[in-house]
Every structure is written in C-alpha cells, then in structure tokens.
C-alpha cells in the first residue's frame, strides 16, 4: 500500500489512510474532513477494510457526533410534528416548557454551550421529548394504516435507534425510532407502511415492493430515495 491512500465509504464518508513507521497497530481518529487511519508498514487495504467493518458501529457513532451541530440559542428544530427553540432566561438554571409537538428550553445567562457535558444533557432532554411525542403520534397512525390496508401486527414499541427508522420481526412485532417524528408526514407514513408490508413479506423481494407500491400509489422507490436524505438523529 502507498504511504497515503483514500477510501470512500458510502456510510462513513472519506477515510484517509496513512502509513506510519512507528505505528504498531491500526488507529482511527474521526475529524471533520475525514476519518484518519494510521497503520503500520506492510498493512494491506484488505486489512484496513476488515478493521473498518469490525469497528463500523463505533465509527458511525463517532462520525455522527462529529457532524452534530452545536445546540445553543441559535439552534432550532422546525418540523411538522416537533418544534424546538432555546431562549435566554434570567434564572441560574435551565427550565423547559413542553407540550405535544413543541418544546422550549429556557437557558441561564451564563450557559456555556461549548461544554460537552451540557451538550450531552441538552441532547438527552430533547431526545426524551422526542420519545414522548413519538409514543403519542406513531402508534395510532400505525394502527390506522394497518386497518386501511388490512395488515395486522402483534405489537409496536418506540425505541432510540439511530441506525434504522423501523423494523418488523417475523412474529409481527414492530419497532419504530422516535426520530421518526422529525420526518415529514408522508415519509413517516412510508416507514410505517414499509414495516407493515413486512408483516406479509419478510424480505425485500419483488412481492414486497409490489405490495408497498400498491399502498403508496407506485411511489415506493421514490419515497425510499427521499428518505435517504434524512438521518436517524438530529
């Protein structure tokens, strides 16, 4: 392998691989421009790719963390089913006002938004609000669509998945990510219909897509492509 090599990964983006004569093992560092990989001399591209696959969940999480915007007074979420704003307050502690579909966080004057612990706390508070909203919004909509298309399921659970919007088990148990409430309504419906289709077709074969097409006016692939522009995170 050359001293420097660039790998392109559809999920992780650019990986910049550099050989270092002092390196004794592969190391990965996530930065804004790329994931930087340092390898010992003699390491093959195949070995790097194998390491990437083994570490993919951790690399994905690190990449998402790196790309997350700073949550401060300029931060906003303005979607169809959930709106969030942060405003300055006069008290020395954080306060929140929350109702269905809307949340406002009132911040103390001396809040240090560059603090990692504060960012983690704010994200946790917002995610809990998303979970509460999802539990109210998603199950009734799933039930309505199941009746409309005569596709029954056994149970539905709301989870914190940041890797997939939803899943359906062979027993008809459906799991939905609470990040779904950040999507437009038509894409929420697409995900719900996708999982309902799995109650009849447990694969992504021709019959599955034919069934999903029948429920989306022939737009299944178009909606699938549109969904890829969004991520299970904020």
Give the model confidence (pLDDT) of 103-127 as tens digits.
999 999 999 998 989 999 999 999 9
Q: What is the mean pLDDT of the chain?
A: 92
Query: CATH number of 137-228: 3.30.2010.10, 3.40.50.720, 3.90.550.10, 3.30.9.10?
Result: 3.30.2010.10
Q: Which two tokens stand for residue 58?
A: 């951790």
Distance of CA 51 to the CA centre of its chain: 23
For residue 186, the model assigns a pLDDT of 97
For residue 2, the model assigns a pLDDT of 64
Q: Where in the chain is the domain with CATH 3.30.2010.10?
A: 137-228
- Asked if residues 169 and 190 have their Cβ atoms less than 8 Å apart, the reply is no
- Asked if residues 20 and 43 have their Cβ atoms less than 8 Å apart, the reply is no
Q: Is the pLDDT of residue 39 over 70?
A: yes
Whether the full predicted model's pTM is greater than 0.75, yes or no, is: no
For residue 60, the model assigns a pLDDT of 85
Range 84-120 burial, b when 16+ CB lie within 10 A, else e:
bbbeeeeeeebeeeeeeeebebbbeeebeeeeeebbe
């Amino acid at each position: 392998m050359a001293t420097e090599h660039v790998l392109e990964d559809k999920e992780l983006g650019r990986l910049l691989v550099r050989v270092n004569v002092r390196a004794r093992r592969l190391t990965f560092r996530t930065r804004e421009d790329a994931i930087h990989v340092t390898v010992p001399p003699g390491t093959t591209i195949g070995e790097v790719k194998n390491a990437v696959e083994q570490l993919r969940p951790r690399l994905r999480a690190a990449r998402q963390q790196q790309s997350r915007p700073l949550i401060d007074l300029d931060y906003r979420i303005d979607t169809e089913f959930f709106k969030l704003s942060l405003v300055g307050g006069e008290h020395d502690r954080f306060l929140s006002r929350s109702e269905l579909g809307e949340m406002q966080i009132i911040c103390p004057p001396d809040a240090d938004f560059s603090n990692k612990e504060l960012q983690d706390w704010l994200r946790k508070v917002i995610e809990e609000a998303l979970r509460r909203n999802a539990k109210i919004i998603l199950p009734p909509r799933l039930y309505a669509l199941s009746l409309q298309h005569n596709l029954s399921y056994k149970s539905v659970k709301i989870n914190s998945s940041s890797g997939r919007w939803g899943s359906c088990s062979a027993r008809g148990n459906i799991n939905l990510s609470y990040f779904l409430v950040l999507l437009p309504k038509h894409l929420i419906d697409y995900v719900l219909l996708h999982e309902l289709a799995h109650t009849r077709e447990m694969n992504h074969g021709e019959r599955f897509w034919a069934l999903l097409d029948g429920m989306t006016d022939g737009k299944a692939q178009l909606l699938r492509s549109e969904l890829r522009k969004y991520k299970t995170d904020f």
